[in-house]
Amino acid sequence: MRKSFIIVLVLIVNQLSGQEVEFSQYYANPLFLNPAFAGSEEHARLALNYKTILPTSFGDYSTYSASVDKYYDELSGGVGFQIINDRQAQGAINDLGLNLMYSYHARLRKRWAIATGFRIGYNIKSVNTGDLIYPDMIDPVNGVNNSGMESGLHQQSLYFDFSVGMLTWYDNYYFGLAVDHLTKPQISLGSDDPGPIARKYTFNAGMEIPFYNSLERVHMTMSPNLIFQMQGASSKLNLGLYLNKNYLTTGVWVKTNTQFNLTGCVLMLGYVTDYATFAYSYDVPFYLGGISGVISGGHEVTFLYKFMYKRKRKKIKAIKCPKI
């Protein structure tokens, strides 16, 4: 039983080696979406993100992210740092990433700006099945029995990773392009044959539409968005819509593939102030079908804080993209 489970786990790891961690609140974790977002706000920014998928037969799936970024006048751009830890199957599969980013900002016209950035990352991906409890280790009378337990699988893969990105925005319109895994780093877990991580291409675009009241003041905004991603033979197109009124932000994303087959949706709710953002989203997978898809989704929460300090007025205005 234990040998069979380890073999299955190894196969899963080999399949996951080319896949990516994904956050549903794309703009609440901007440094993960595109390194060019570093320093895109007026003040320094701290973002904490957590995502979990309800337990399955292989254990829990949780992802943690913490990032900070700030614009520096003397560098004409922003610097950011991010830590991401992805745990799967009760920690049997773990991926820790440390990322440093820089983004250069420039104004092309009065209302037209551009930012280009890069990310340098160091990753530690590991597999350790030694702490797992297998069905044949459970005694109906005495509980868990560790006698005769096999050592299991314990391997690590360490590698550097590089990404580049570009953002541009004009008035209320914006779009960006990011390329991850430029060097196609090689990893090997549970196999003597290293496999490369395929390059991932991400394109995002959107706009902000203001609505005015009788006093000609903006009282609500609507923001349609799209995100297209392609990695290896896999590609997907996500379409989203945000509504913002006062401090409340709501959003919905529809997930499709390039054949426009629905694969899931994301429901979002956020409370946004000048200083902080609190957001929650629920990711519903359609491919499970029925009630299984409704109750087996992913929960994601975000806390974002801006350090509001006095400083000289920045030449480049903050991009008008969604807050979650």
- Domain regions of the chain by residue span: 2-307
Are 241 and 225 contacting, i.e. CB atoms less than 8 angstroms apart?
A: yes
Please give the pLDDT value at position 8: 43
Looking at domain 2-307, its CATH superfamily turns out to be monomeric porin ompg (2.40.160.40)
pTM for this entry: 0.84
SS3 string, the chain, reads CHHHHHHHHHHHHHHHCCCCCCCCCHHHCHHHHCHHHCCCCCCEEEEEEEEEEEEECCEEEEEEEEEEEEEEHHHCEEEEEEEEEEEECCCCEEEEEEEEEEEEEEEEECCEEEEEEEEEEEEEEEEECCCCCCHHHEECCCEECCCCCCCCCEEEEEEEEEEEEEEEEECCEEEEEEEECCCCCEECCCCCCCEECCCEEEEEEEECEEEECCCCCEEEEEEEEEEEEEECCEEEEEEEEEEEECCEEEEEEEEEECCCCEEEEEEEEEEECCCEEEEEEEEEEHHHCHHHHHHCCEEEEEEEEEECCCCCCCCCCCCCCCCC
Please give the pLDDT value at position 151: 52
Please give the pLDDT value at position 128: 76
Please give the pLDDT value at position 30: 95
User: Per-residue confidence of the chain (324 residues) as pLDDT tens digits?
Assistant: 444 444 344 444 444 444 578 899 999 999 999 999 999 988 899 999 999 886 554 457 889 999 999 999 899 999 999 999 998 877 778 899 999 999 999 988 888 899 999 999 999 988 876 665 555 556 555 555 655 455 556 678 899 999 999 999 998 999 999 999 999 998 766 555 567 889 999 999 999 999 988 777 888 999 999 999 999 888 999 999 999 998 999 999 999 987 778 888 999 999 999 889 999 999 988 766 665 556 668 899 999 999 876 666 555 667 778 888
Please give the pLDDT value at position 6: 43
